[in-house]
Amino acid sequence: MAAHVIFSDPKLDTVALDTLKNGIGGSRLILPAKVASSVLEVGEADPAFGEAEIAFGQPLLESIYASERLRWIQVSSAGFTRYDTPEFREYARKRGLVVTNSSSVYAEACAEHVLAFMLAQSRKLPESLAKRIPNGEPEWMQLRDSCRPLRGQNVLILGFGGIAKQLLEMLAPFRMNIVAMRRHPRGDEGVKVVTSAGLECALAEADHVINILPDNGESAGFFDRKRFQQMKPGAVFYNIGRGTTVNQEELFSALKSGALAAAWLDVTTPEPLPQNHALWTLENCHITPHTAGGHRSESLTLVKHFLSNYERYSQGRELEDRVI
Amino acid sequence: MAAHVIFSDPKLDTVALDTLKNGIGGSRLILPAKVASSVLEVGEADPAFGEAEIAFGQPLLESIYASERLRWIQVSSAGFTRYDTPEFREYARKRGLVVTNSSSVYAEACAEHVLAFMLAQSRKLPESLAKRIPNGEPEWMQLRDSCRPLRGQNVLILGFGGIAKQLLEMLAPFRMNIVAMRRHPRGDEGVKVVTSAGLECALAEADHVINILPDNGESAGFFDRKRFQQMKPGAVFYNIGRGTTVNQEELFSALKSGALAAAWLDVTTPEPLPQNHALWTLENCHITPHTAGGHRSESLTLVKHFLSNYERYSQGRELEDRVI
């Protein structure tokens, strides 16, 4: 392989860093003086960035704009918010700059997280794990009766990327009625697809509304009062995309009134929610602290995914998880 | 259909009872003076029982032995403990008495309950739902890192009936390595099967040990100190069969020492466990109050399943869920 200069700023454990060093052959690796504390966090501007042809991590926009050598960015998260603007897309197009993300690394764990939420809801795990009631009592009968197998229920998935594809596979055995919303349907989704024009009807029919929307100009506050009111009474709302896509005050109202049966959120604004936030007070609001994509050996998987794309890049092949 | 006399003792709601009455055509329905409080509870001896050719529910052994007309029992649970003895099987064989159970009614909900447990464990839901930690902090990294996708992990299922079959379907997308233990392998299981002779090796390899054993003479205290010690360090133990199959003192020790990573139990002895029981004190022991088979319209589904078998019985066809 030809030698390249690679700037890498994700926080990596020793095994992952060694794998990266060994995997790039004769290329030069530049590590920043200060490493980000998570794959989501933006690093500090680094004077050495300008030497890099490839950036792996969360490079700053100002560093990208200042760089003359940069050709390819592999974002170390599934989201790529700060690059997902018309301006940046136009800039990248003009410069021939390619942007990939790491959605493959997190898709399986995220999809499992959603299914864990759905099954915890269908089996009433939070309530059941807290009860010590005898068989046969009215409360026990009521708890059993409140469980509802997934089979035959309606699901609406918003945001059709790697996570949705993994989730569809995992949901197949349950024979649910699945609809996906996608900005630009391609016909390869394998389920019924609607655009925003069909959203109102889809929301009215869904028992489970799964929000995997990315954070960009179009999605800010996407789930507002109107959309919560369009949902079927007793529907369950899930968010493992980004917290910014939800109006949390309106979500609170919909949960408090019982219009929605429950919400399961892995993302909020901000993260974590302040201790006195109203959503913490609701028994039907279940929140995990942005752990949906997490899994053992995460940073090693992240590096292996980068190296796989690095090999493709070196060979002039199409990159995986390309987003721009 | 020919007219039959049917004794029915499950506690049924109005819709389910009406469905039963309408579904048996010209046959006569005998309801006991006192109805059981759950499908699991045994009713009282009823003098009218002797008139019945068909019994639906949980008939008493003494009533069965005293009856001259009884030909078919449909047990209203998935377990059929009191009938699962060599003596009763021999008695039924001699008399030509057929016993079916209602495992089809509960299998899907039970399998969902197991998968809900497995995913709650793999996504660390109990811990994650309780944490309010910022992205990037060491505790957050550790929590993400402790999650482990199911793919490629080893599963051992003990007890291969309707629940196991449903569970295998639901686990297929996760591409796990699955082994089942069955008393009498038939070759139609679709996964690797071991008998008790292969159990020690299977226990040593399994990351997830799923106990769906019925309660009978062979299974009492099946999971004892020896078997917990044979398990892989860090394995997770699930029980949705019957509480009697587990030595709870030894389970406590295995969980307390960390030899087992966690246990997820839907059944215990007794149910519920006393308030001062040691298992309640363990953070890695998660207990639901025998709700695994529960689902909306449960008694209606139970009746429909009976009526489906009743039609088969009237037509002289093979019955579903036959156990004796």
In order of A199, A209, A212, A236, A263, the CA distances from A202 in angstroms are 5, 9, 16, 14, 18
Give kind and range of the element (H or E) at residue B125: helix B125-130
Inter-CA distances, A89 with A38, A50, A220, A319, B61, Å: 25, 20, 18, 17, 76
- pLDDT tens for B218-230 read 899 999 999 999 9
> Is some CB atom of chain A closer than 8 A to the CB atom of B207?
no
Q: Which of A208, A286, A290, A305 is catalytic?
A: A290
Determine the Cα–Cα distance for residues A276 and A151; give it in Å rounded to an integer. 38
The predicted pLDDT at position A243 comes to 97
pLDDT for position A2: 67
Per-residue model confidence (pLDDT) at position B297: 87
**In this model, does residue B1 exceed pLDDT 60?**
no
> B116 to chain A, minimum CA–CA distance in Å?
5
Q: Which of B113, B208, B290, B305 is catalytic?
A: B290
| Alpha-carbon dihedral A91, A92, A97, A98, rounded to 10 degrees | 170
Q: Give the ranges where chain A is alpha helix by DSSP (H).
A: 14-23, 61-66, 86-95, 103-122, 125-130, 138-146, 162-171, 199-205, 225-230, 248-256, 298-314
Residue B97 structure tokens: 């008495």
- Is some CB atom of chain A closer than 8 A to the CB atom of B192? no
Confidence (pLDDT) at A190: 92
pLDDT confidence of residue B46: 85
Hey, are the CB atoms on A287 and B129 less than 8 Å from each other?
Answer: yes
Judged by a CB distance cut-off of 8 A, whether residue B275 touches chain A is yes
**Average pLDDT of chain B, as a whole number:** 94
DSSP-derived secondary structure for A198-250: GHHHHHHH-SEEEE----STTTTT-B-HHHHHHSPTTEEEEE-S-GGGB-HHH
The closest of B146, B155, B261 to A297, measured between CA atoms, is B146
Quick one: how far is CA B264 from the chain centroid? Answer: 14
Instruction: Give the three-class secondary structure for B320.
Output: coil
A5-104+296-314 CATH fold: Rossmann fold (3.40.50)
What residues in chain A have per-residue pLDDT under 70? 1-2, 34-44
**Contact: A120, B124; criterion CB under 8 Å:** no
Burial grade of B139 (CB within 10 A; 0-12, 13-18, 19 or more): exposed
Query: Do the interacting molecules here have an ipTM over 0.85?
Result: yes
What residues of B are in contact with residue A120 (Cβ under 8 Å)? 116, 119-120, 125
Task: Using an 8 Å CB-CB cutoff, list chain B residues near A242.
Answer: none
Cα nearest neighbour of B109 on chain A:
A149
Geometric angle at alpha carbon B283, from B278 and B286, rounded to 5° = 80
Q: Which residues pair with B57 in a beta bridge?
A: B75
Categorize the per-residue pLDDT at B216 as very low, low, confident or very high, splitting at 50, 70 and 90.
confident
B114-130 pLDDT, tens digit per residue, is 999 999 999 999 999 99
Active site residue B208: no
Q: Is the peptide bond before B270 cis (omega within 30 degrees of 0)?
A: yes
User: Residues B135, A40: contact at Cβ < 8 Å?
Assistant: yes
Match 């992952």 to its residue by tokens.
A16
Across residues B141-148, what is the average pLDDT? Answer: 94
Average the pLDDT over B177-193 and give the result: 93
Whether the CB of B287 is below 8 Å from some CB of chain A: the reply is: yes
Domain B149-287 CATH assignment equals 3.40.50.720: yes
Under DSSP, the state recorded for B322 is B
Q: Does B173 contact chain A (CB < 8 Å)?
A: yes
- Chain A residues whose beta carbon lies within 8 Å of the beta carbon of residue B151: 108
DSSP B304: H
Residue A36: what pLDDT?
60
Portions of chain B given CATH number 3.40.50.720: 5-104+296-314, 149-287
pLDDT at residue A81, rounded to an integer: 85
pLDDT at B39 over 80: no
Helix axes A298-314, A103-122, angle to 10 degrees: 140
Give the β-pairing of A235-239 and A260-265.
parallel
Q: How confident is the model at residue B43 (pLDDT cuts 50, 70, 90)?
A: low
Sheet of A98-100, strand order:
A28-30, A5-8, A54-57, A72-75, A98-100
Mind listing the pLDDT tens digit for each residue in A187-222? 889 999 999 999 999 999 999 999 999 898 889 999
Q: Which of B108, B150, B295 to mutate to test the interface with A (most CBs of A within 10 A)?
A: B295
Q: Do A295 and B40 touch (CB under 8 A)?
A: no
Tokens of A160: 């059709």
Answer whether A103's CB lies under 8 Å from A322's CB: no
**CA A126, A131, A134, A139 torsion: positive or negative?**
negative
Mean pLDDT of B100-104: 93
Measured CA to CA in angstroms, residue A178 lies from A77, A147, A152, A211, A260 at distances of: 27, 20, 10, 14, 19
